[in-house]
Amino acid sequence: MNEQTTHETSGALAAPGGPILRAVIAVLAAVLTAACIAWSLDAPSRMGVAFYTQQLLALVLGLGLGIIYFSVSWRGKPHAGGFPWFDVLLGIAGLGISLWICVEYERLLNDVSYYTSEVVWLSIILVPLVLEALRRCTGWALVSVVVVFIGYALVAEYAPMVIRGKPASFTQVMTYLAFDTNGLFGTPLKVGAEVVILFLFMGDVLIRGGGGEFFIDLAKSLLGHKRGGPAKICVVGSGLFGMISGSAVSNVASVGPLTIPMMIRTGYSPRDAGAIEAVGSTGGQLMPPVMGAAAFLMAEFLEIPYGKVALAAAIPAVLYYLALYWQVDLIAAKERISLLTEELPKPREVLRDGWHFIIPFVALIFMLFYYDSSPENAALSAAVVIFVTGMIRGYRRPRLKISDLFRSLAATGRTTTDLVTTLAAAGFVIGVLNSSGLGFALTLWLVGLAGNSLPVLLVISAFVALILGMGMPTTAVYVLLAVLAAPALVQAGVMKLAAHMFILYFGMLSMITPPVALAAYAASTISKAGPMETGWAACRIGWAKFVLPFMFVLSPTLLLQGAAASIAFDILTAMAGVYIATCGLVGYFMRPLSPPWRVLLCVAGLAAIIPDSQLSFLFPGLISVSGIAVGFALLLADYLAARRRASPA
């Protein structure tokens, strides 16, 4: 809401309340983060007090609702100056109801089965409050999906036979969604409060201490002098920064203003510059050791340690970034991109000034993979290390002070409000699927629609992921697909980890796939290129993300599942295949390539990527080796032809 409309709104509070309001929001946000940290440290038990996990979730939800209604207008924009009286009421209602549930949870839990008037009215008020907060944060797309599911639960007994569900009254549906542990206070919100918020806190402390500048400077010092240097800085810097932020759009907003103008100055087109930044930022959610929020939810759904999810994601993420890195290099050669002329930092100087940022990552990896610590304790330990070292050493900014700790707590709480409402809404969807039986019915329907054909089922699942992902947060897309599509893939014979990784990849593709490509559109506002053309260019540049999920479903060796020899063979052949296919897609190796040559290289590259080392009906590795042989033969022929053309007559 802009300033003019705000002052014209009847009953709007006066602008002088602004500083007080900001202070209230900061306190609420800091308490939200501090509560999650205290829970991770098992503070209630140490104080001799027993709490249900749902009491923590109610507290987090209430604080999140209060922050949203006090800071975001009904138009989905920050309040400017004063804000209307009804937002005050909504904020107080959301905060008050959730705190009441937190305090009285044990008694209310006993009353749920009797549908007391207190329980019913709390449910009827709380569910719409969450949906409206979600709309203000994320728009209509996700809200519409959730409302459709809730509407289905009310009329499930009248639905067509294939998706017919259990009958339920309005009262039963509302109370189930608001109070059942499979609903609002279910797994998604639990993972967010117990794990994800702590990683976001760690990331905020790292950035506040200068970690973002360190990673960008390190990328500049190592790659800035190379061919296509600005784009390579973008690839590496966005990947490193994305591991911290876990958000493609915020990654673009943070790194893009530096890398996109740099790419354009050296000769990349505004369209390609924006697309490269969008693709690089999106991949940060897939890069271990710190991935996006969806990865922690995956570990919960699969009931395995987060370290195993991160380990399985490593090779596909490396292949994704290799494809992007080689592509920007070949584009630079094809379009004769000039080298950077500005003075670049030296690697030795960057490491000398910022070596202390390596310590928390070593601590994080050690605790996750060696000490087998829980993700939340690992994140909290790493945050402590970052803060302590940041108080001793600064990087391109003053050293951290105790006051920065409160600022970081408040900043983390403010940035998690979108996540809290998204995870709460995901709980509504899971609640409907569990209470109505729709999840099982949809699994059978998808399998039947595919005609028991795994390739067809994979294509259908990928298409559904792209459709659901339009304008929706990655976390919400993953949760929806984890309960809708993943069971069908598992029933069709796909390994459970591979099935969930498949839908995670295609859920994230919505960030760069038109018509609603949020990361690409954010990049286009910086590059000044058209949003749609940037999105389509991002699809071309991020081609590996469309291909790799099918490959690790075919054989999970790319997820580090299987014999060591097969894993090593498939990784090496996949790397070779990615390079061969990239040459074909760009249309350049030593010189511009003709269309038939490009098609042959793409086919050979895809054949090399196929992980066929475990296919028993063929000579192990025959398809991959054949693809590499043909691809390298084509590249060698092009190299020799270019040499002959360059040599004197």
Give yes or no: residues 214 and 286 share one domain.
Answer: yes
What's residue 392's pLDDT? 92
Give yes or no: residues 522 and 610 share one domain.
Answer: no
Give yes or no: residues 349 and 254 share one domain.
Answer: yes
Last residue of some domain: 529, 561, 593? 561
Please report the sign of the dihedral spanned by the C-alpha atoms of residue 294, residue 295, residue 299, residue 301: positive
Range of the domain at 389: 141-561
Give yes or no: residues 308 and 237 share one domain.
Answer: yes
Q: Above 80 in pLDDT, residue 506?
A: yes
Q: Above 70 in pLDDT, residue 3?
A: no
Question: Predicted confidence band at 614 (pLDDT cuts at 50, 70, 90)?
Answer: low
What's residue 246's pLDDT? 64
Q: Does residue 568 form part of some domain?
A: yes
Question: Predicted confidence band at 161 (pLDDT cuts at 50, 70, 90)?
Answer: confident
What's residue 80's pLDDT? 66
Give yes or no: residues 121 and 165 share one domain.
Answer: no
Q: What is the mean pLDDT of residues 385-394?
A: 92
φ and ψ at 562, to 5 degrees? Answer: 135, -170
Q: Does residue 649 form part of some domain?
A: no
Question: CA–CA separation, 561 vs 497, rounded Å?
Answer: 10
Contacts of 231 (CB under 8 A, 6+ apart): 259, 263, 268, 273, 276, 328, 329, 331, 332, 337
Q: Does residue 191 form part of some domain?
A: yes
Give yes or no: residues 112 and 147 share one domain.
Answer: no
Higher pLDDT, 452 or 562: 562
Q: What is the mean pLDDT of residues 410-421?
A: 90
Give yes or no: residues 29 and 158 share one domain.
Answer: no
* Cβ-contact 487, 221 below 8 angstroms: no
Give yes or no: residues 324 and 440 share one domain.
Answer: yes
Give yes or no: residues 134 and 157 share one domain.
Answer: no
Last residue of some domain: 95, 119, 140? 140
What's residue 12's pLDDT? 34
Question: CA–CA separation, 252 vs 259, rounded Å?
Answer: 10
How many domains, the chain?
Answer: 3
Q: What is the mean pLDDT of residues 113-133?
A: 94
Give yes or no: residues 297 and 213 share one domain.
Answer: yes
What's residue 145's pLDDT? 87
Q: Above 70 in pLDDT, residue 502?
A: yes
Higher pLDDT, 311 or 81: 311
| Angle (nearest 5°) at CA 24 between 23 and 30 | 90
Question: CA–CA separation, 387 vs 14, rounded Å?
Answer: 38
Please give the DSSP secondary-structure letter assigned to residue 80: -
Q: What is the mean pLDDT of residues 94-106?
A: 94
pLDDT, averaged across the chain: 86
Question: CA–CA separation, 531 vs 125, rounded Å?
Answer: 39
Last residue of some domain: 542, 561, 580? 561
Q: What is the mean pLDDT of residues 425-442?
A: 85
Higher pLDDT, 491 or 16: 491
Q: Does residue 446 form part of some domain?
A: yes
pTM of the model: 0.85
Question: CA–CA separation, 29 vs 38, rounded Å?
Answer: 14
Which pLDDT tens digit goes with each residue over 335-354? 888 877 777 889 899 999 99
Give yes or no: residues 394 and 375 share one domain.
Answer: yes
Q: Does residue 75 form part of some domain?
A: yes
Q: Where do we find the tokens 């991959």?
A: 624
Question: CA–CA separation, 91 vs 65, rounded Å?
Answer: 6
Give yes or no: residues 442 and 366 share one domain.
Answer: yes
